[in-house]
Amino acid sequence: MGDSDLLDKAAVEALGEGFRGTVLRPGQSGYEDARTIWNAMIDREPAVIARCEGAADVISAVNFAREHDLLVSVKGGGHNVAGNAVCDDGIVIDCSPMNSVRVDPDAKTARVGPGATLAEFDHEAQTFGLATPVGYNSTTGIAGLTLGGGFGWLSRKYGLTADNLLSADVVTTDGDLVHASENENEDLFWGIRGGGGNFGIVTSFEFQLHEVGPEVLSGLLVYPFEDASEILHAYREFVSDVADDVTVWAVLRHAPPLPFLPEEWHGKKVLILAAFYAGDIDEGEEALQPLRAIGEPIVDVISPHTYVGWQQAFDGLLEPGARNYWKSHNFETITDGMIEKFVEYMERMPTNHSEIAIAQLGGVINEVPTDGTAYPHRDAEFLMNLHTRWEDPELDEECIAWARNLYDEMTQYATGGTYVNFITEETGEEQLAYRGNHDELVQLKSEWDPENLFRMNQNIEPTV
């Protein structure tokens, strides 16, 4: 690392003189806020934070990092659990101010900046009754989500977020701005759809939009934990043959203090089925009726909701400031053995804020060939995320061990792949994230970033 350059105040001031945004050093106003991200386990102190207002600023920051041999991290929403948005001693290229969203309602497309959150994207698109598949927590940044694949409530019907990407503008390691699409820099376009931030910094995303809402049928069924095994078996049966409009996730956790839950259930272990229908509400009522007939829920709050409201329904469970550690597997099916392990580990879940989440995938996602994009998990019907969440650092060891142990127990049932955006640490899981596309991604990395300037990510090492 170029430590002498890090301390060269004149060099940093020179960068700031040509900047439309703000260049921050330790001790300056705004520095502490800019280095703070969603996962409170991450406490890093960069030498420079370049808060970019446009592509020109990103280019200047990349050139500065290359010329001064600085470690580079790139921040969009700062929500990624691994905390790769911030580095020690290097430069944070902070794109969060670049949060514009411009919708073309006639073409049903949107041009979105890398700093936009899902809430900002949804707000603009829903003004015209449009949306693209994005994640399930509206404070997530669109950039990291898309580059890792991106899935949510609309994905079984319309594909991944990355599958709906039409084009992107990318700043390369040389400080060039290039356009990537199916017709231009096709190899780069393939790589940024699932290969993460390994190849450059995207300064603009163009998405395909679809007619959605403004109201959708969605909501929760909440069951006593003692019924979890029975309900999970019935859930497995229901989702085995449903239309792509239907998406149902299962979550094992302690009941949060939601207003529709009887107070005596707050803090108790429960099983939650979260249901969503991506089509006509009346058709959805019919499609979800067999699900609602399962068991005896504590509450059934499936009803029409605004799409924007549903997208933000779980934000309160994922607010910034807590310590987070995740482990994730993909599965083709849910077996009896898996259900037994889910129930067993829920019995000793380390904190009331942690959860075992099983997301339903499949549908249109899996119609894309495995090598059609860098995202390779076109065989996954379910994704398990072990989300441990706590506040006291003294619980670190217990919480991390719980997640790792259950992850290890579930390996025997898994596809051998994992979702790149849910990788928390460098443990070799990068190979699981990229699977059969890894070798091609290495070739792409060697072409577009041979010096591995962009390595604060689930890294693909170049051969050069």
Give me the CATH number covering residue 262.
Answer: 3.40.462.20
Does residue 351 share a domain with residue 255? yes
Q: Look at residue 386 and tell me if it is in a domain.
A: yes
Q: Which of 220, 382, 360, 216 is nearest to 292 (CA)?
A: 220
Q: Are residues 309 and 403 in the same domain?
A: yes
Mean pLDDT calculated for residue range 172-195:
98
Residues 285 and 392 in one domain: yes
Residue 431 included in any domain = no
Same domain, 219 and 355: yes
Average pLDDT over every residue of 237-254:
97
Q: Using CA atoms in the order 319, 324, 330, 334, what is the torsion angle rounded to 10 degrees?
A: -80
Is the model more confident about 259 or about 133?
133
Contacts of residue 320, defined as CB under 8 A and 6 or more positions apart, other chains included, come to: 36, 37, 38, 40, 139
Our count of domains for the chain comes to 3
Structure tokens at 155: 């994905």
Supply the mean pLDDT for the chain: 95
Do 133 and 56 share a structural domain?
Answer: no
pLDDT confidence tier of residue 429, bands split at 50, 70 and 90: confident
∠ CA 152-78-133, rounded to 5°? 15
Handedness of CA 221, 385, 342, 361 (dihedral sign): positive
Whether residues 207 and 225 share a domain: the answer is no
Q: Are residues 54 and 157 in the same domain?
A: no
Domain final residue pick, 46, 68, 94: 94
Q: How far is 180 from 269, CA to CA, in rounded Å?
A: 47
For residues 207-219, give the mean pLDDT. 96
- Alpha carbon distance 434, 418 (integer Å): 8
Q: What pLDDT, on a 0 to 100 scale, did the predictor assign at position 5?
A: 44
Over range 29-47, report the average pLDDT: 95
Look at residue 395 and tell me whether its pLDDT is greater than 50. Answer: yes
Q: How confident is the model at residue 425 (pLDDT cuts 50, 70, 90)?
A: confident
Local confidence band at 13 (pLDDT 50, 70, 90 cut-offs): confident
Q: What is the pLDDT of residue 7?
A: 46
**Contact, 409 vs 341, CB < 8 A?**
yes
The vertex-389 CA angle with 297 and 338, nearest 5°, equals: 55
- Identify which of 290, 293, 240, 295 has the alpha carbon closest to the alpha carbon of residue 271: 295
Cα atoms in the 13 Å half-sphere on the side-chain side of 208: 13
Domain annotation covers residue 456: no
Q: Are residues 288 and 143 in the same domain?
A: no
Residue 196: inside a domain, yes or no?
Answer: yes
**Domain range enclosing 206:** 101-212+438-448
222 and 242 fall within a common domain:
yes
Question: Predicted confidence band at 3 (pLDDT cuts at 50, 70, 90)?
Answer: very low
- In this structure, the answer to whether residues 231 and 349 fall within a common structural domain is yes
Q: By the 8 A CB rule, do 177 and 55 touch?
A: yes
313-361 pLDDT, tens digit per residue, is: 999 888 999 999 999 999 999 999 999 999 999 999 999 999 999 999 9
DSSP of 74-85: EESSS--TT-TT
Q: In percent, how much of the chain has pLDDT > 70?
A: 98
Task: Look up residue 462 and give its two tokens.
Answer: 């170049």
Inside any domain, residue 460: no
305, part of any domain: yes
Residue 435 CB neighbours (<10 A): 17
Per-residue pLDDT tens over the stretch 75-103: 999 999 999 999 999 999 999 999 999 99
Tokens of 182: 């199916």
Q: In this structure, are 7 and 130 located in the same domain?
A: no
Strands 91-94 and 72-75: parallel
- Compute the C-alpha angle 303/125/219, nearest 5°: 15
pLDDT at 1: 40
CATH number for position 176: 3.30.465.10
How does DSSP classify residue 254? E
Q: Per the structure block, which two tokens stand in for 416? A: 């051998």
Determine the longest span between alpha carbons in the chain, in angstroms.
Answer: 69
Residue in this structure with the two tokens 């003692």, named with its chain if needed: 226
Residue 462 lies in a domain: no
pLDDT-based confidence at residue 218 (cuts at 50, 70, 90): very high
Question: What local confidence, expressed as pLDDT, does residue 12 receive?
Answer: 85
Q: Judge whether 315 lies within some domain.
A: yes
Same domain, 194 and 223: no
